[in-house]
């Protein structure tokens, strides 16, 4: 493991771990004041499977680390078209296994591991819960999906004009073409969690959506599927917010932090004020 401090963010570190196709970069965020042992949250940035970077996770990851009192680990997963599906979800699972194995030396608790992500990262967070369940680990205690892209068939996409959405159907289609170059891949549950018929046994979920977003319908459909399968699920839609704003929307981040605190800390854990 190679670790180097970030010059401008003293509470963050860059890490490099072995990945399925070479080194996999992670960025770890540790709250300024925290107990000796922290729960761990894996965070996956957005970018439609074809863009984005660790830098895009900085704001939400840092907020979640401080307000949840958790060790947050952002993952620099593979991007299409250079590395299409299933490279990204395999990177996600590799990161989760590595974190679970090394949690103790990082000051984390592998028994309190959660996943979160926005946009394509929300897809990967959801897919990781399926993979971890199917492959018997690591155990995931909670999932927070923020404006997730869950349906490559695009049959549940909202009307962008009516919703005044900043994300268009054309953009979604282009992203999915690059991420899933083979049509049959769009039916794979690790690419399209919404098509999965096996939601039972998945961790409790928070699904955060934006009113002005073509994706909010599919995300809420996924929430309904989780609820039908007996998975404790909370859905929050933010009025007047568009897709691009959601991952940095402080009320949304506060909702995520509140959800993760309830799922990762017991009732006696100290409260952490939300600076909204």
Arithmetic mean of pLDDT, 157-167: 91
Average pLDDT, the chain: 91
% residues pLDDT > 70 (the chain) = 92
Q: What is the domain range of residue 180?
A: 2-264
% residues pLDDT > 90 (the chain) = 86
pLDDT at 7: 36
The answer on pLDDT for 272 being more than 50 is: no
Arithmetic mean of pLDDT, 88-111: 96
Q: For 198-257, give the secondary structure using H, E and C.
A: CCCCCCCEEEEEEEECCCHHHHHHHHHHHHHCCCCEEEEEEEEEEHHHHCCCHHHHHHHH
CB 28 within 8 A of CB 13: yes
Q: What are the backbone dihedrals phi and psi of residue 109, each rounded to the nearest 5 degrees, phi first? A: -115, 110
The answer on pLDDT for 12 being more than 70 is: yes
Cα(14)–Cα(74) distance, rounded to whole angstroms?
A: 9
The answer on pLDDT for 229 being more than 90 is: yes
Any domain includes 276: no
Any domain includes 272: no
Cα(256)–Cα(43) distance, rounded to whole angstroms?
A: 12
CATH of the domain at 86: 3.40.50.1820
Cα(254)–Cα(250) distance, rounded to whole angstroms?
A: 6
DSSP state of 34: -
Cα(272)–Cα(262) distance, rounded to whole angstroms?
A: 12
Measured in whole angstroms, the distance separating CA 29 from the mean position of its chain's CA atoms is: 15
Arithmetic mean of pLDDT, 195-219: 95
Confidence band for 10, pLDDT divided at 50, 70 and 90 = very low
Confidence band for 11, pLDDT divided at 50, 70 and 90 = confident
The answer on pLDDT for 176 being more than 70 is: yes
Bridge partners for 44 per DSSP: 75, 117
Cβ count near 45 (within 10 Å): 26
Cα(254)–Cα(159) distance, rounded to whole angstroms?
A: 28
Counted domains in the chain: 1
Q: Is 213 exposed, middle or buried (0-12, 13-18, 19+ CB in 10 A)?
A: buried
For the ranges 11-15, 192-196, 227-231, the lowest mean pLDDT is seen at 11-15
Cis peptide before 147 (omega within 30 of 0): no
Cα(183)–Cα(189) distance, rounded to whole angstroms?
A: 13
Any domain includes 168: yes
pLDDT at 21: 86
Model pLDDT for residues 29-79, shown as the tens digit of each residue: 999 877 779 999 999 999 999 999 999 999 999 999 999 999 999 999 999
Any domain includes 269: no
Arithmetic mean of pLDDT, 130-146: 97
Arithmetic mean of pLDDT, 89-106: 97
Cα(58)–Cα(93) distance, rounded to whole angstroms?
A: 21
Question: What is the rounded (10 degree) CA torsion for 234, 238, 242, 243?
Answer: -10
Model pLDDT for residues 110-120, shown as the tens digit of each residue: 999 999 999 99
Confidence band for 268, pLDDT divided at 50, 70 and 90 = very low
């Amino acid at each position: 493991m190679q670790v180097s401090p970030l010059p401008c963010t003293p509470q963050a570190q860059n890490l490099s771990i072995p990945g399925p196709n070479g080194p996999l970069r992670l960025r770890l965020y540790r709250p300024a004041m925290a107990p000796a042992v922290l729960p761990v949250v894996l965070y996956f940035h957005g970018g439609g499977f074809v863009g984005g970077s660790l830098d895009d996770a900085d704001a939400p990851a840092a907020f979640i680390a401080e307000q949840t009192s958790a060790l947050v680990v952002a993952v620099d997963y593979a991007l299409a078209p250079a590395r299409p599906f299933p490279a990204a979800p395999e990177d996600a699972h590799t990161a989760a296994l590595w974190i679970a194995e090394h949690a103790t030396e990082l000051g984390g608790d592998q028994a309190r591991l959660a996943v979160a992500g926005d946009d394509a990262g929300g897809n990967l967070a959801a897919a990781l819960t399926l993979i971890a369940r199917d492959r018997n680990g690591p155990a995931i205690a909670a999932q927070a999906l923020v404006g997730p892209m869950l349906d490559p068939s695009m049959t549940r996409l909202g009307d962008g004009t009516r919703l005044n959405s900043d994300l268009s159907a054309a953009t979604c289609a282009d992203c999915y073409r690059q991420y899933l170059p083979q049509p049959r891949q769009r039916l794979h549950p690790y690419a399209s969690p919404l098509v999965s018929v096996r939601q039972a046994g998945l961790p409790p979920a928070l699904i955060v959506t934006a009113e002005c977003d073509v994706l909010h319908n599919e995300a809420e459909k996924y929430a309904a599927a989780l609820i039908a399968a007996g998975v404790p699920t909370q859905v929050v839609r933010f009025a007047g917010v568009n897709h691009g704003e959601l991952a940095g929307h402080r009320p949304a981040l506060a909702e995520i932090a509140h959800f993760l605190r309830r799922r990762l800390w017991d009732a006696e854990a100290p409260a952490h004020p939300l600076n909204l």
